[in-house]
């Protein structure tokens, strides 16, 4: 009986490397993220936007109770994908870190600083036994001085800054749209519309404002805030207007 490396049991604990130096448990935690709702972030010249396509399966659910975008501090917001209870735990932790920074240094925490703190915490759960890694990826958006920032963390505790990125089930489809159409000189409004394009593609034209969650921060206010339902609907309508009369193209996403 020929057995592959996972079958040999290298994937039963985070304290065990596989013969080729992989941590299977961390890779499996990434699978939990790949099965999550799609969250995207896009950085513009003058701000950052976070978008989440909440999958709501029943009209009996209060849509707003599926919260995927969270404010961490006045100037920082995050979007999460993966295990929802893990995400809530990480968000709570980040909020406390932000307040500790204000109390200790009397100034708001840097966006990159908090991103690293989240990642360091996640790394711990990939090196010590008796725990499992976090099954959650987090997009972190904010303004450092006057510069928009957008970070992505994954279950390993790795950290990358992106111009535009997505996590969750629809990541591949979103990344195709972003690779094709993102440009560095976009303003926040174009960034939102780019997100709408990606959503339009991934849903094959079936955009639904009521299941969308959008968060935004711009360099003028430096205040992270979530869009009201009306604001979301506005953008959805604009997007639908654009595609009026055209045959929706086939989504290339594999989710």
CA distance 128 to 245: 56
Using the rule CB under 8 A, is 156 a contact of a copy of itself?
A: yes
CA distance 206 to 30: 27
- Interacting stretch for a copy of itself, rule CB under 8 A, among 8-16, 69-77, 192-200, 247-255? 8-16
Question: In the window 87-106, what residues touch a copy of itself (CB under 8 A)?
Answer: 88-89, 92
Residues near a copy of itself (CB under 8 A), total:
75
**Bridge pairing between strands 38-44 and 47-53:** antiparallel
Q: How far is the CB of 65 from a copy of itself (least distance, A)?
A: 3
Interhelix angle 84-105/111-124, nearest 10 degrees: 130
Using the rule CB under 8 A, is 47 a contact of a copy of itself?
A: no
Q: How far is the CB of 70 from a copy of itself (least distance, A)?
A: 12
Q: How far is the CB of 237 from a copy of itself (least distance, A)?
A: 24
In sequence order, what are the beta bridge partners of 234?
none
Q: Which is nearer to a copy of itself, 29 or 232 (CB)?
A: 29
- Interacting stretch for a copy of itself, rule CB under 8 A, among 44-52, 156-164, 188-196, 228-236? 156-164
- Interacting stretch for a copy of itself, rule CB under 8 A, among 57-65, 218-226, 229-237, 245-253? 57-65
Using the rule CB under 8 A, is 168 a contact of a copy of itself?
A: no
Dmax (CA) for the chain in angstroms is 64
243 close to 205: Cβ distance less than 8 angstroms? yes
CA distance 255 to 35: 8
Q: Which is nearer to a copy of itself, 19 or 245 (CB)?
A: 19
Q: Which two tokens stand for residue 104?
A: 């200790």
**Residue from 77, 133, 195, 215 that binds a copy of itself (CB under 8 A)?**
133
In sequence order, what are the beta bridge partners of 213?
52
Reduce the DSSP state of residue 130 to 3 states and report it: coil
């Amino acid at each position: 009986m020929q057995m592959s490396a996972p079958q040999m049991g290298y994937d039963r604990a985070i304290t065990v490397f596989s013969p080729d130096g992989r941590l299977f448990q961390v890779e499996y935690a990434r699978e939990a993220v790949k099965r999550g709702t799609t969250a995207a972030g896009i950085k513009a010249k003058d701000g950052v936007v976070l978008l989440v396509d909440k999958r709501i399966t029943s009209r009996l659910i209060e849509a707003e109770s599926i919260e995927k975008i969270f404010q961490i501090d006045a100037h920082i917001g995050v979007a999460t994908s993966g295990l929802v209870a893990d995400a809530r735990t990480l968000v709570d932790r980040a909020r406390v870190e932000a307040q500790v920074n204000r109390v200790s240094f009397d100034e708001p925490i840097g966006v990159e600083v908090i991103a690293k703190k989240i990642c360091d915490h996640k790394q711990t759960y990939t090196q010590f036994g008796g725990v499992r890694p976090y099954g959650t990826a987090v997009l972190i958006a904010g303004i450092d001085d006057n510069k928009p920032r957008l970070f992505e963390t994954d279950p390993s505790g790795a950290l990358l800054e992106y111009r535009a990125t997505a996590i969750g089930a629809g990541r591949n489809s979103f990344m195709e749209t972003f690779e094709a159409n993102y440009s560095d000189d976009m303003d926040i409004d174009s960034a939102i519309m780019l997100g709408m394009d990606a959503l339009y593609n991934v849903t094959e034209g079936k955009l639904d404002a009521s299941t969308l969650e959008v968060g935004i921060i711009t360099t003028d206010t430096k205040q992270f805030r979530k869009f009201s339902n009306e604001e979301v609907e506005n953008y959805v309508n604009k997007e639908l207007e654009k595609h009026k009369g055209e045959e929706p193209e086939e989504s290339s996403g594999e989710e």
